[in-house]
Amino acid sequence: MSQFKPVVAAYRQFLKAGTTYGTALRDVAAQLKGASCPELMRELATVHAEHFECKVSWSGKGAAQFFKGAEYSFEGRFDAAYKSWQRNVLVHFSAPKESFKTEADPVAKMIKAMEKLTPAQRRKVLAAFQ
């Protein structure tokens, strides 16, 4: 069984590192009262992207976007890196309240608008979709 000693030792180091990192990040999150710090997020995202050998950019709402390729695109996003980011970093911070704003359902908006139309206008709109 000595052939497994390196794997067992590496796993022991992995668990210890995860505990040390988790404690450090929890302490920082507590000091920040759960709010994310842009400077900390940028530095962690850079390290994260280096580990996953990808690039990082920031959305208009301030979310990290991990991707392969020249620039971020839906097709080029790197889901494995993002999932790891969620599990290892974002879990320690609460999302800003403005990120919980939801846009109105476009179907509900359309129905509401159609309710204001005359019967003739409704028939005209419905005919366009047939």
Sequence spans of domains, the chain: 2-101
Report whether pLDDT(100) > 50.
no
Question: Over the chain, what is the mean pLDDT?
Answer: 86
**How does pLDDT run across 52-85, given as a tens digit for each residue?**
999 999 988 888 999 998 888 888 899 999 999 9
Task: Give the lowest-confidence range in 4-8, 25-29, 34-38, 44-48.
Answer: 34-38
Percent of the chain, pLDDT > 90? 38
Rounded Cα distance between 49 and 36, Å, is 18
**How does pLDDT run across 2-32, given as a tens digit for each residue?**
889 999 999 999 889 988 988 998 899 889 8
What is the DSSP secondary structure assignment for residue 100, as one 8-state letter? G
Mean pLDDT of the 42-61 span:
93
In sequence order, the 6+-apart residues with CB closer than 8 A to the CB of 109 are none
